[in-house]
A and B are shown apart, each in its own frame.
Chain A
Amino acid sequence: MTDVLLGHYGYWFVFVLMVLGFYGMVVKRNLVKKLIGMNIFQVAIIMFYLSSAVKWTATIPIADPALGTADTALYISPLQHCLMLTAIVVGVATSGVAYALLITIYKRYGTLHEDELLERMKNDLDLE
């Protein structure tokens, strides 16, 4: 049992972060806080990928002539790092669009609090 607990400590940190992010996203009423929760959730997943790419006593995946590339144990697996570049970019793009949306919402309704927003939307019923 200790092996499982010790061996996976990287993953537990990631799970705690994930639960925090998800909690923030679902429960918080303010729209900006929801967005921050979303970002935490995305970063947690990125950390999850990276923590699965680690090998003991391995260097960064730049092939330096001294070590040579014969033995794969010397370098950590580079694939996850590439994938996570894409995930980071996707996170940035989504947040960018989300903040643009928030600006237009704020400009039209003057509030970013979900409950007030719903009331204000109710009273201008028309679909326009």
Chain B
Amino acid sequence: MMRRDDDVIIGLVARTASPFIMIFALYVIFHGHYSPGGGFQGGTMLAAALILVRLAAGDDLAQLQFPRAWGTPLGSAGVLIYWGTGFVAMLCGGNFLDYAFLPLAGAAPHRRNLGILFIEVGVGLAVCGILTAIYDDLLEGRPRD
């Protein structure tokens, strides 16, 4: 890794840039209906923002932002959200992932629109959590700088 003294600048830039990347990532996730984008792309951008901070500002600082222990549980939470919407639709009589049967207001197409939104959020969370967890795991062996 870089020597301690000259990564102050990079660290600072990374730390300031990271929140903005995250906001744009959230925009990409939620705006997937109307413009290109969606769960996966948004999730990876979130992960990129987190990894940027880990790379630039060193590991110990990055733990404050997104501690290592959160990675896999967040990922599992994302997939559970996805599975949950499908299962709820199944409980309400439809087939496994049939959003028309979700107990929401509005006409069928509107319910599908909301169903897709849940899916996007689930996917985004899962991708972000898991990619950061994989990055942390790959980083394991290295002595702390």
Contact size class for A?
Answer: under 10
User: Which of these binds chain A: B16-24, B65-73, B106-114, B134-142?
Assistant: B134-142
Q: Which residue of B lies closest to A95 (CB)?
A: B134
Main secondary structure of the interface of A (DSSP, over half): helix
Main secondary structure of the interface of B (DSSP, over half): loop
Known: A62-B35, A96-B134. A85 touches B40 (CB 8 A): yes
Contact B36 A62 (CB under 8 A): yes
Contact size class for B?
Answer: under 10
Contact A60 B40 (CB under 8 A): no
Inter-chain CA distance A99–B134, complex, in Å, is 10
B96-145 with Cβ < 8 A to chain A:
134, 137-138, 140-141
B residues with a Cβ closer than 8 A to A are: 34-36, 40, 134, 137-138, 140-141
A residues with a Cβ closer than 8 A to B are: 60, 62, 85, 89, 96, 99-100, 103, 107
